[in-house]
Chains A and B, each alone.
Chain A
């Protein structure tokens, strides 16, 4: 069974810092990997989707990388803002499965 781990579980940074969130997975036979953002009491908002053939995806201040061979993905947030405060979830879809396998998330707090 695919296990997805996110480190750290929680992170607090001052506004303006660049930061990296980590995601690791145990089965490298993945279809794709997706990063989501979740605000308290809300649903999930998709941030970036990386297909297994891709190495990275970028959207604005966000950049996600994928290294299948090592079972790792990172989400890089540049010039963090208080509005970035949320929980960030990493999810992996494996080749033989239909649904996403989620990590437990990283809770990010950006202080003014």
Chain B
């Protein structure tokens, strides 16, 4: 079955550490996205990519970095510059244009 796989499901980060969240899709979608979800704030866009080797900043990109070397993969790195990284992170993909979005099951990141 086609879908989006996010790993790990839970992740703990120490102060000053960089961590990478994985997102893989086998839907053959060109576009991929990373969202952050905080209680009471809704989903906010971190980065998105319309095609391989190209990506754009979203509304809250500071402290995050991404790469898009393969169509299937869009990893997100939370750097030490992100001062409040504790949140639920969701990856999504879509067909550019009028297609709907498919989401992964999320990664919960906690700073310890």
B interface size (C-beta, 8 A): 27
Asked whether A44 lies within 8 Å of B103 as measured between CB atoms, the reply is yes
Asked whether B50 lies within 8 Å of A98 as measured between CB atoms, the reply is yes
Asked whether B48 lies within 8 Å of A99 as measured between CB atoms, the reply is yes
Chain A interface size, under 10 / 10 to 19 / 20 to 34 / 35 or more: 20 to 34
Which of A31, A45, A46, A99 meets B33, CB within 8 Å? A99
* Nearest B residue (CB) for A103: B42
CA distance A89 to B44 in the complex (A): 13
Q: Does more than half of chain B's interface fall in helix, strand or loop, or is it mixed? A: strand
What chain B residues lie within 8 Å of A103 (beta carbons)?
Answer: 42
* Nearest B residue (CB) for A4: B42
What chain A residues lie within 8 Å of B96 (beta carbons)?
Answer: 98
* Nearest B residue (CB) for A104: B42
Judge whether B8 is part of the interface by a CB distance below 8 angstroms: no
82-112 of chain B: CB within 8 A of chain A: 88, 90, 92, 96-98, 100-106, 108
18 contacts between A and B (CB under 8 A): A41-B88, A42-B105, A44-B90, A44-B92, A44-B103, A46-B100, A46-B101, A46-B102, A91-B101, A98-B48, A98-B96, A99-B45, A99-B58, A100-B45, A102-B42, A102-B43, A104-B41, A104-B42
Which are the 10 A-B pairs with shortest beta-carbon distances? Answer: A44-B103, A49-B100, A43-B105, A104-B42, A102-B43, A43-B103, A43-B106, A99-B45, A102-B42, A99-B48
Residues of A within 8 A of B (CB): 31-32, 34, 36, 41-46, 49, 51, 89, 91, 98-100, 102-105
Q: Contacts A43-B103, A91-B43 given; 14 further ones with Cβ under 8 A? A: A32-B100, A41-B106, A42-B105, A44-B90, A44-B92, A44-B103, A89-B42, A98-B50, A99-B33, A99-B48, A99-B58, A100-B33, A102-B43, A104-B41
